Structure 1
Amino acid sequence: MSPNALIPSHRKPRRPSASSRALRAGVTGGFLTLAVTGATVPANAAEKPVAETQEMPTITTALATSAAKSADTAEQVAFNYERQALQDSAFSKAAKAAEKHKAEAVKKAKAEAKKKAEEARKAKEAAQARASRSSERSTLSAPSSSTATGSTATLVSFLKAQLGKAYVLGSSGPSSYDCSGLTQAAFSQIGIDLPRVSQDQSTQGTQVGLDNLQVGDILYWGSAGSAYHVGVYVGDGNFIGAQNSSTGIVERPLNYDMPTGAVRVL
C-alpha cells in the first residue's frame, strides 16, 4: 500500500460537464440529443427518447402527402376551370360565327329572291310586250271584216266572176242578173237560200250597223221590208251589185251610193 493511500485527497469533486448536464436534461425531457458525443448514456434512458422521436417523421410525411394531394386537387380544379373557360369561349365564338353565317345566308337568300322576282317581272313584261307585238301583227295580217275567208271567199269569188255582166230586170243568170237575182245566185253557191226579191232579202238574218260590216253582209237601199235595191259587201269598203242596165254588174265603194242598212245571214 502506498503511504499516501490513507491521506485524504484535497482535490475538489469533479463537476459534471456541460455535455453531461445537457444529456441528462435531454433524457429527463423525453428525447435524446444525438449531437453530444463521448457521454455515457444509460441504456434504459436512451431507449425512450428514440421511441418517442420516431413519431415526428410519420406526422411530417402525412402532412406532406396531404399537402401534396391538396396541391394536386387545387391544380386540377384550376385546370378544369381553365378548360371550361376555353370551351365556353370556343362555344361563344362558334355561336357568334354561326349567327353571322346565318345572317349572311338570310341576306343572300333575300337578295337571290329579289333578283329572281325582278327577273320574273322583266320576263313577264317581255312576254307581254311580245304578245302585244304579236297581237298587233296578227291584227294587221289577219283577215278583217273587209277580207273574205272560208265560205265568204267562195261567195266573193262568185260575185267577182260576174262583174261586167248585164243587168236585166227579173233575170237570175247566168249571163245576166237583176240586183236580187245576183245576191240569190251568189248565196246559193254556199248553201244559203234567199228569197227572190229585195224587199224580202232586206229582212233576212240579223240587222247590222253600217259601221260594223263584215264580208258577205247584204246591203239594202230603202227601208227594211220595202227595200228597192240590194248588193253584197265584199270588204275594203266596197260592194258588188247589179246596179242598172247602163252599168251592169259592178264593184263600187260604199260612198258611191251609200246603202240604208245591212243584214247578216252568215
Structure 2
Amino acid sequence: MPHTAHIRSHRKPRNRSASTIAMRAGVASGVLSLAAAGAASAADAGEPVTQTLELPALTADMANQVAQSADATQQAAANYQLRAERDAAAANAAKQAKSDLAHAKKQAAAKKKAAEKARQEAAERANRSSARTTLSASAGGSSASSSGSTATGTAATVVAFVKAQIGDTYISGGTGPNVWDCSGLVQAAFKQVGVDLPRVSQDQSTAGTQVSLDNLQPGDILYWGGAGSAYHVGVYVGGGKFVGAQNPSTGVVERDLSYDPPSGAVRVL
C-alpha cells in the first residue's frame, strides 16, 4: 500500500446542482438526437429532398390594386395611341392645306393671266376695228397723195426688196435668202439701205418714230400688238397695201391693210 493511502484529499467535493445535471442531460440528449438525425440522413441520402414553399394568399385588396394598375396601364396606352393618331391627322391636314393653297394660288395666277390676255386682245380688236374704218374710208377716195403711194429714195429700195420676196416660204426664225419670218424679212429689207434694225418684232415696233395709221408712207414698219410687245411686223408699200411674211400657209404675201389692220406703225427712214 502506498504511503499516501491514508492521506485524505484536500479537494472539495463538487456540488452538482439539479439544474446543472439537467443541462448536461439535455446536451447529451441533443447530441444523441443530432447523431440520430445524422444517421437518418445518411440512411436516406439516396432519396431526393422536396421542399414546399407556401406563398402568401392573394387578398381582395391586393387583387383590386392589381386590377386598378392594369386598368391604368391600359388607359395610358389608349391615351398615347389617341394622341399619336391626332398628331398624324394634324400633320396630314397641314400638308393637304399647304397643297391646296399652292393649287389655289396657281389657279388664281392662271385666271389673272387669262383675264389680262383677254383684255389686251379686246383692246387690239377695238384698235383694228377703228383702223379698218379709217383705211376703208381712205380707200374709197383718192388716197395716192394722202397715203404716199409712191415710194422714193431709200424707201423705194426697201419696198422693192420686200416685193421681190413675195412667194417665198415662211419659217419661224428664217432670215433669207428664200425663207423668212416676219421680223427677219423686215430686218433684211432695211439692211439694203444701211439701217440695222433689231431682230425681233417687239423691238422693231419701237425702232423709229410712231406714226398715225392714216398718215402712212411707203417704207413705214407696221406692227400688230402693242408697241414694245408686238407679235407681227410688215412693211407698208403704198396704195393701202403691205408686204409681210405672214405664216407657213401663205408665206410672204402682199395684202390690203383692211385684210388685217395693224395696231400701229413706226417710221425709220
Q: TM-score range by the shorter chain?
A: 0.3 to 0.5
Whichever of the two has the greater Rg, that structure is 1
TM-score of the superposed pair, with normalisation by structure 2: 0.46
Higher relative contact order (CA 8 A, sep 6+): 2
Normalising by structure 1, report the TM-score. Answer: 0.46
